[in-house]
Amino acid sequence: MECCKSYNLVNLCRAATTPRSNQGVFFIFKQQQIMEKKQTFNEIIQSETPVLVDFFAEWCGPCKMMSPILKDFASQMGDRVRVIKIDVDKNPAASQTYRIQGVPTLILFQKGKIVWRQSGVVQKKQLEQIVNQLATQAQ
């Protein structure tokens, strides 16, 4: 798939009601972690593992700046967090459901609940602090 060429982006196999299609939905992770079981978006965000969702657009300059940050973040965090990118132009239902008004918008889910949300470019250090703080609160 053309938009999956760069750095270990793997097409999410199947998406449920939000987003409605699998176009423009990607996981960022190490290649050896490719999912064996197909999961819906809702199943993924319901997991115990925090899920960081990047709502982005191909035409968005700040979104392009977030890509390498998210790649490094996902690589460093390993299994502690999942990172998913959702193209708002290809998934308008997801954008409406989560009231995305600007891109990039990052939303961190844990057990299906939104635990953090921010629009704009976010540095890797801040993302690490948020996930670490979430892990500390869970203990």
What is the per-residue pLDDT for 28?
A: 56
Q: Which domains are seen in the chain, by residue range? A: 41-134 (3.40.30.10)
Give catalytic residues, as residue numbers: 60, 63
Give the number of other CB atoms < 10 A from CB of residue 63.
20
pTM, to two decimals: 0.77
Distance from C-alpha of 127 to C-alpha of 73, rounded to nearest angstrom: 8
What is the per-residue pLDDT for 40?
A: 81
* pLDDT tens digits, one per residue of 83-130: 999 999 999 988 899 999 999 999 999 999 999 999 999 999 999 999
Sign of the dihedral defined by the CA atoms of residues 135, 73, 49, 105, in that order: positive
Strand pairing category for 25-28 and 51-56: unpaired
More confident residue, 36 or 134: 134
E strand or H helix that includes residue 110: strand 105-110
* pLDDT tens digits, one per residue of 121-136: 999 999 999 999 988 8
Q: Which of 25-34, 46-55, 75-84, 104-113 has the lowest mean pLDDT?
A: 25-34
